Chain A
Amino acid sequence: EADIYQTPRYLVIGTGKKITLECSQTMGHDKMYWYQQDPGMELHLIHYSYGVNSTEKGDLSSESTVSRIRTEHFPLTLESARPSHTSQYLCASSGRDAQTAKNIQYFGAGTRLSVL
């Protein structure tokens, strides 16, 4: 089972609030990712990191920002939340599987954000 944790699991906030979604992994993985998941299921990559002090924007433009100061921690911040930010946010990490040499992504359980 993957050791990747997201908090909070659910968050309901008002417009204009600043929020930070937490993501931590204890597997020592260098690569970490944030996905936004539509109600229609599709996963959209919004940020990724290949290591400490490395962050890149993903395929889907997002008003959120991320930081990677420690290997195990990859928080996502919205400076001023809006109703359009309402979605499910999934964090993932990946690293080289020792047995298979494959780079497998492991996902957290997600944060469901509702902005009123």
Chain B
Amino acid sequence: GENVEQHPSTLSVQEGDSAVIKCTYSDSASNYFPWYKQELGKGPQLIIDIRSNVGEKKDQRIAVTLNKTAKHFSLHITETQPEDSAVYFCAASPSGGYQKVTFGTGTKLQVIP
């Protein structure tokens, strides 16, 4: 089955700096890679996703990159703000998410004002 590894487990950055979270996956059949943000006391919410036919996707201060050959994908947050502080999960799934979604172990991001 799929195995998704996520690093780092905790990340502290100064407000305004960039944050990068990295994930690797094992199953070459995976073609859909969502990222979720979980704020304190809430469930995870999808913030951005990428399909395997795209190498990069950007949405305002958030970007994801995918290297299919190396089976790596990353989340980049630029100009971090205190409200970016949360736990972030990467995930991988075959068939656009219709089959099982495997989550990474989570990264706790703290943005220091």
Contact = CB atoms under 8 A, between A and B. Distances in A.
- Chain A interface main SS type: strand
Interface string B76-92: 00000000000101000
Given A41-B108, A42-B106, A43-B89, A102 B42 contact: no
Contacts, number: 54
A92 B51 CA distance: 21
Most buried by B among A2, A101, A104: A104
Contacts of A115: none
Given A41-B106, A43-B103, A107 B45 contact: yes
A95 B91 CA distance: 17
Nearest to A48: B100
B41 interface: yes
Nearest to A41: B106
Contacts of B32: 102-103
Contacts of A104: 34, 46, 49, 97
Q: Is the interface on chain A under 10, 10 to 19, 20 to 34, or 35 or more residues?
A: 20 to 34
A29 B10 CA distance: 34
Interface string A1-15: 010000000000000
Interface of B: 9, 32, 34, 36, 38, 41-46, 49, 51, 87, 89, 93, 95-98, 100-101, 103, 105-106, 108
Given A2-B45, A41-B87, A96-B98, 10 more contacts: A41-B9, A41-B105, A42-B106, A94-B97, A104-B97, A105-B34, A105-B97, A108-B43, A109-B41, A110-B42
Interface of A: 2, 40-43, 45, 90, 92, 94, 96, 101-110
